[in-house]
Structure 1
Amino acid sequence: MIVTLIVAAEISFWILLGLGLAARYLLRRRRTSTALLIGLPVVDLTLYVLTVLDLRGGATASWTHALAASYAGFSIGYGPSLVRWADRHFAYRFAGGPKPLPSPKYGPEHTRHEWQICRRTVASAAITLSLITLLVPLSAGAAHYGTFLQWYLKLGIAAVVNVIVAGCYSIWPKQPPADAHAEGDRTVERPTADAAQKRL
């Protein structure tokens, strides 16, 4: 049952995101768009509530229940940046917006980008582990901490690795190649002759 709910939540998330952006840029209905986009975290919260009810109903706790909880953690940690990314690309494709710039690859901009990813990952991991921990008392004892132990280890490792990576780029920033140039607020490589020809 939980796997089916997870798939349904995933599909609902992308449908709501697509409808929200279409309402904003194609139909020019900003309030409708806002209402649809607000529904994104509601989808994950509903999935979490149904997960709790499933455990309280006597289901055997498993990794799928923890996965369902992780959707809410991901939505809070990464959801806003994902919506902004989709918004920029949708506006460029369908509403004449500016072309989205790629993620910075060099220098201080790249370091700041890595720390942004790190903060989102740590926030997602912390929220997910909190929600997983709450499954135990909320499920009236149907779940046990030992069932979710591997999630504490995996998400903890993911958070630590992200901190180490971002820290390393702070100490040793990634240097741009000699032919790089400034484009806006970031450093990019100059296109090769072949790449320039393809653009033409």
Structure 2
Amino acid sequence: MERNRPRGERAILYLIIACDVFFWVLLAAGLGARYIKGWKRLGGGILLCVPLLDIVLLGATVISLKDGMEVGIWHGLSAAYLGFTVAFGHDTLCWADAKFGRRFGGIPEQPRPVLYGRARVLREWRSWLRFLLAYAVGCALLLGMTWFVGGVERGAPLLAWLNPLTKILIYSLVWPVIVTIRPGQAPEEETSRAGGQ
């Protein structure tokens, strides 16, 4: 039985990897059906399946803990992974949809985001708020799982993930602070164009 424990714990890691792979597979299949084949309903249906991967991963993690599997670091990783997919999954879908739409659907290219001034500051802080959301969801799942398995004594490997998640949140704060202090200036051609008008 002892030999099988690490293999059972690694099953969660393999599931995380599988969910990540299937995320990109479903994303490519859905967008390919929508823009390359012109099957908009089928493409939309496939894309709606993407969030189900998070439900599968969460369900598998909870079931493995309920069945008495030894709590390991991979259970904590699943919580961290789910936090980031909740926070960044929609943005990734929108980014890929825009890329496919321009390449295969004839959708005109959107203007590039402003990379200076107040607009840039707001953009960077919105991005950091995504990290904050990922952190909040990940921590909530870690604490919930710790309670689910009976407390801190058994859930210590889960709570160990609070440290790296907190460090990621703090380090990610550095860039928007720098941009707030030095937001940059408009390129010279835009300045001269505005002055000429």
- The sequence identity of aligned pairs, in percent, is 27
Q: Which residue of the partner structure matches residue 16 of structure 1?
A: 26
* SS of equivalent residue, structure 1 residue 67: helix
Residues 82, 48 of structure 1: alpha-carbon distance in 2 compared, 3 angstrom cutoff = same
Asked whether the equivalents of residues 117 and 186 of structure 2 are also in contact (C-alpha less than 8 Å), the reply is: no
Q: Which residue of the partner structure matches residue 181 of structure 1?
A: 190
Q: Does 1:166 align with 2:166?
A: no
1:136, CA displacement in angstroms? 2.2
Asked whether the equivalents of residues 59 and 142 of structure 1 are also in contact (C-alpha less than 8 Å), the reply is: no
CA distance in 2, matches of 1:132, 1:81: 24
CA distance in 1, matches of 2:31, 2:51: 16
CA distance in 1, matches of 2:65, 2:189: 56
State the TM-score, normalizing by the size of structure 1: 0.78
Q: Which residue of the partner structure matches residue 129 of structure 1?
A: 139
Of the candidates 93, 113, 125, which is equivalent to residue 123 of structure 2? Answer: 113
1:97, CA displacement in angstroms? 2.1
Unaligned runs of 5+ in 1: 183-200
Asked whether the equivalents of residues 61 and 142 of structure 1 are also in contact (C-alpha less than 8 Å), the reply is: no
Q: Which residue of the partner structure matches residue 3 of structure 1?
A: 13
Unaligned runs of 5+ in 2: 1-10, 192-197
Structure showing the higher helix proportion among its residues? 2
Count the aligned residue pairs.
Answer: 181
* 1:41-93 residue CA offsets vs partner (Å, 9 max, x unmatched): 21012111101111222322122111112232122111111111111111111
Of the candidates 104, 107, 111, which is equivalent to residue 94 of structure 1? Answer: 104
CA distance in 1, matches of 2:153, 2:57: 17
Could you tell me which amino acid in structure 2 is paired with residue 23 of structure 1? A
* SS of equivalent residue, structure 1 residue 144: helix
Could you tell me which amino acid in structure 2 is paired with residue 53 of structure 1? I
State the TM-score, normalizing by the size of structure 2: 0.79
CA distance in 2, matches of 1:97, 1:143: 55
Asked whether the equivalents of residues 108 and 173 of structure 1 are also in contact (C-alpha less than 8 Å), the reply is: no
Residues 91, 18 of structure 1: alpha-carbon distance in 2 compared, 3 angstrom cutoff = same
Could you tell me which amino acid in structure 2 is paired with residue 159 of structure 1? L
1:46-61 equivalences in 2 (<5 Å): 46-61=56-71
